[in-house]
């Protein structure tokens, strides 16, 4: 089992037309996260907003199937992490589906906790990575337009450099700590 390091205030929406199963998943998560359940696509559509960090979504539901619900919430601007948790074997149609992970049932409590934890870690990593690249862009812009002596004399440039280095080290540490997620240091953080 993955060590829980994500924000305990994170929230999860479990969407499954099998009420027993949705409640079971929720029970595995509610000791760590704020969890709500929806037993249909229509009910989920009413609940989903950016307050939910992760949505666990069944693909096969009557009336509004999970893949259609996924398309609708993405069009409406939901940018959180979505995990398809389904008995439907994947086919090539998943290529165009905007989910973050695809998990095939049956799923144990440990697996469901690990999936949510992984998605929260990836979200955290993505935010830090975006911050790092924004800082690197600023540094590269300054380095391309200012002479070295001016850069060295400006405290703001030094602060940017220190911050970028610190974030890079944090990202590398996150990669090392969470190697079970399949991350590898490919050198993309190198200058």
Task: Give the full edge-to-edge strand order of the sheet including 101-104.
Answer: 34-38, 11-15, 54-57, 81-86, 101-104
Do 36 and 106 lie in one domain? The reply is yes
Q: Domain limits at 152?
A: 125-181
Average pLDDT over residues 108-134: 90
Same-domain check for residues 76 and 99: yes
State whether 132 and 87 are in the same domain. Answer: no
Shared domain for 165 and 91, answered yes or no, is: no
Residues 138, 173 share a domain:
yes
Residue 190 placed within a domain: no
What is the number of domains present in the chain?
2
Q: Work out the pLDDT band at 180, boundaries 50, 70, 90.
A: low
- Within a domain: residue 191? no
Q: Does the pLDDT at position 167 exceed 90?
A: no
Mark whether 83 and 169 lie in a shared domain: no
Higher pLDDT, 129 or 115: 115
Question: Quick one: CA dihedral 74, 76, 77, 78, positive or negative?
Answer: negative
With contact defined as beta carbons under 8 Å apart, do 41 and 82 qualify? Answer: no
Q: Are residues 83 and 34 in the same domain?
A: yes
Residue 110 lies in a domain: yes
Where among 118, 138, 166 does a domain terminate? 118
Q: Residue 22: inside a domain, yes or no?
A: yes
1 part of a folded domain: no
Check whether residue 109 and residue 129 sit in a common domain.
no
DSSP notation for the chain? -PPP-S-TT-EEEEE-S-HHHHHHHHHHHTTTSEEEEESSHHHHHHH-STT-SEEEE-S--SSS-HHHHHHHHHHTT--SEEEEEESSPP-GGGGG---SEEEESP--HHHHHHHHHHHHHHHHHHHHHHHHHHHHHHHHHHHHHS-HHHHHH-HHHHHHHHHHHHHHHHHHHHHHHTGGGT----STT--
- Quick one: pLDDT band at residue 2, thresholds 50, 70, 90? very low
If asked whether residues 32 and 114 sit together in one domain, one would say yes
Q: Which of 68, 93, 118 is the last residue of a domain?
A: 118
Residue 187: band (very low, low, confident or very high) from pLDDT cuts 50, 70, 90: low
Each residue's pLDDT tens digit, 30-75: 999 999 999 999 999 999 988 999 999 999 999 999 999 999 999 9
Mean per-residue pLDDT, 22-33: 96
Q: What is the pTM of this model?
A: 0.73
* Chain Cα centroid distance, residue 5: 14
Per-chain mean pLDDT for the chain: 87
């Amino acid at each position: 089992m993955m060590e829980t390091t994500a924000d305990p205030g994170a929230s999860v929406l479990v969407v499954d037309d099998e009420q027993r199963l949705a409640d079971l998943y929720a029970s595995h998560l509610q000791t760590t996260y704020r969890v709500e359940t929806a037993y249909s696509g229509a009910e989920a559509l009413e609940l989903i907003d950016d307050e939910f960090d992760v949505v666990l979504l069944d693909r096969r539901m009557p009336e509004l199937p999970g893949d259609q619900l996924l398309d609708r919430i993405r069009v409406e601007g939901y940018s959180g992490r979505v995990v398809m948790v389904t008995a439907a074997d994947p086919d090539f149609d998943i290529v165009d589906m905007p989910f973050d992970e695809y998990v095939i049932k049956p799923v144990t409590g440990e697996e469901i906790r690990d999936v949510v934890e992984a998605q929260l870690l990836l979200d955290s990593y993505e935010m830090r990575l975006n911050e790092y690249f924004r800082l690197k862009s600023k540094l590269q812009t300054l380095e391309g337009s200012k002479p070295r002596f001016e850069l060295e004399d400006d405290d703001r440039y030094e602060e940017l450099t220190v911050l970028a280095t610190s974030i890079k080290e944090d990202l590398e540490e996150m990669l090392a700590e969470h190697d079970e997620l399949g991350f590898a240091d490919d050198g993309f953080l190198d200058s």
